Structure 1
């Protein structure tokens, strides 16, 4: 048990097993009294720890369970106030007053493929906070992170709807740019990579990071050179106020939209004139659910309806973060593996999926792992959260977003 775990006074819950995991098979089961060996950290929120035997050794997990039926608890996105920015999970949680939280989506962490082009820190998938869309998904070929399971893509999200139920879905961008010269689709919103030949929009939520990265790579090759055919137009109060031959940087004022185009998209933007009226429309739309998301975070699904997705990786073990839910979306579980040296082998995606199933989740979703994996919670009586697991890098990694658990009056 970690030092911080002892400070929480939690009881170590162990998956008993007749043997370790063989491939992706979780042997044994949780003790019958596991639900009683927990620590309450807020209304409808409990914390426990457990050991999970695996193919490469024992993994140690930290689990926060949230009763979404409880009217005194809610879940929302943790983020630093800008899409293209990062901060440690503990700082994100304390800034928003969360009682618990974990890291979120995979993100643009480095750009060795494009010398001189700074990493934005923006996430791969869509993000919705407090019912407001912050960003859309990048093309699948521009994704950072491990390979996606078959049948999943960068639009996949986990989130909680306005009905307080957790669900998995895909969130797509619905947007357009309209002027007297015509209307064309908007194919990007506050994202670090645009599809080839398209136009994307950047608003104040993007932050001050350079927009050059949005025109680098292709839909199938993240390492492809940056486009040499780009154009940028700034729209304020519905009119074009400036234009440039390359994407810029710096904070975008509220009420202002910067349109960035590459190839065919750049040619369309060059046709706009200073002072011309332009209407930019964008919204994030769930493909299946009719209930709007209160919050949503990107990653990829691992299990639906109690059945693991086919083709889950069962060879690469790592420290991981996951979220799952059951009871028709009313019970949510956050899981973060410990990155201490003796546990650092971690779990494969197939193993962590079956671990979530053993914990009671019917649907499960993978978040960023490795050095990003962080779980925090506030001790009873404390004014700030503590880090519950050992981050595998020795310290918290700054991340662009996470899942926060909050008490409500």
Structure 2
């Protein structure tokens, strides 16, 4: 078997709605705002409203901050808030101000800690796919490598909330479709700017990744995030479609525009070892929707809790927490972005099942859970103000830096 044969032989998603709130678990949602709050039903900008309300729940009253967005208004759009790199974090308020957003909430779950892998740094990168301005930033990690609460049955890390170029919001799933082409054939691409790669695969890292170490991508397994890091790794740097360097271990530091770093583990590493300096290599990647051919302008990860007005089967009814969620109404034309308050008197929060019920009572047909706890943040700019203000009380006492969020933008 030749060296070339050896490489490939190894294998392959209103204010009117809020005004007509129904009953939740036998008790009404109460729109009583605390002292100093923006008045209920306040219009922040054309097509964007803000309201606070109380939600009776199993573990006490939760206090919710809700943004309403009317995508039928051509002056309104959504896009991703992020700090300029996948493997980076910043407060929601800072990202919103930097991007010129009128409001925003925190987004996907992320690689927040690495206590199981001494010496390996947490990257801060998110679990699921991410798209901004139509540009694909990253793909999803394996289900077993995710951070966050247990997923509802039938859901996974590829699930997203997004808005298409048709200006309609929806829930979907986005899978990576990619390849590595050389003069003798193609290899499958197993990851894109991910903190965890599937076992035996090759992943691509681009300038979108940032400066964080790529070692974490080779730790854990497809079913066990805490499993040891692989000892069989290899890295190939491709610049302007030519191999320019080779390494036995994943590196760190910024990646220049026009450069792709390929990281392999196990079988993927063995395949990369057959590459050589100067070899022509083309890396292709895209995210493929499971439900539509409409391209996405914006998308981020989390998990669905409500579809077609019905809670998903198997939602957790026990663990309560401060939570963030987004709801879709009127065929994707109206949105409800919810962040619970983390002040001590409200910290009982909601269970995932209660989140689904709450989003349905608010008028959502579909709803999507985002990162919660200390990450839960809702920031909004008052009419005439130049900067946003954090409207809820983060449960940690201050804003937690997060890797991404949903930004609401308006055009005068």
User: Is TM (by shorter chain) over 0.5?
Assistant: yes
CA distance in 2, matches of 1:279, 1:16: 55
Structure 2 residue aligned with 1:6: none
**Correspondence 1:44 to 2:43:** no
Asked whether the equivalents of residues 162 and 294 of structure 1 are also in contact (C-alpha less than 8 Å), the reply is yes
Gaps of 5+ in 1: 1-11, 18-24
**Correspondence 1:157 to 2:160:** yes
Gaps of 5+ in 2: 1-17, 34-38
Structure 2 residue aligned with 1:280: 283
Structure 1 residue aligned with 2:27: 28
Asked whether the equivalents of residues 30 and 53 of structure 2 are also in contact (C-alpha less than 8 Å), the reply is no
**Correspondence 1:334 to 2:337:** yes
Structure 2 residue aligned with 1:97: 100
CA distance in 1, matches of 2:149, 2:374: 14
Structure 1 residues 13 and 345: alpha-carbon distance in aligned structure 2, compared to 1, 3 A threshold: farther
Structure 2 residue aligned with 1:120: 123
**Correspondence 1:324 to 2:319:** no
CA distance in 2, matches of 1:203, 1:122: 14
Partner SS, residue 356 of structure 2: helix
Partner SS, residue 389 of structure 1: coil
**RMSD of aligned Cα (Å):** 1.8
**Correspondence 1:399 to 2:407:** no
Structure 1 residue aligned with 2:146: 143
Deviations 1:277-333 (A, max 9, x none): 111101112121111111001000001100100000000000000000110000000
- The offset of 1:181, in angstroms, is 3.5
CA distance in 2, matches of 1:232, 1:116: 19
In the alignment of these two chains, the number of paired residues is: 390
Asked whether the equivalents of residues 26 and 355 of structure 1 are also in contact (C-alpha less than 8 Å), the reply is no
Structure 2 residue aligned with 1:129: 132
Structure 1 residue aligned with 2:75: 72
Structure 2 residue aligned with 1:205: 208
Normalising by the residue count of structure 2, what TM-score does the alignment of the two structures yield?
0.92
**Correspondence 1:234 to 2:237:** yes
Deviations 1:121-179 (A, max 9, x none): 00000000010100000000000000000000000000111011000000011100011
Structure 1 residues 37 and 338: alpha-carbon distance in aligned structure 2, compared to 1, 3 A threshold: closer
Deviations 1:61-94 (A, max 9, x none): 0000000000111100000000000000000000
- The offset of 1:381, in angstroms, is 1.1
- The offset of 1:43, in angstroms, is 0.9
Structure 1 residue aligned with 2:188: 185
CA distance in 2, matches of 1:106, 1:203: 21
Asked whether the equivalents of residues 15 and 51 of structure 1 are also in contact (C-alpha less than 8 Å), the reply is no
CA distance in 2, matches of 1:277, 1:150: 43
CA distance in 1, matches of 2:157, 2:40: 37
Select between 279-288 and 231-240 the one with higher mean Cα deviation.
Answer: 279-288
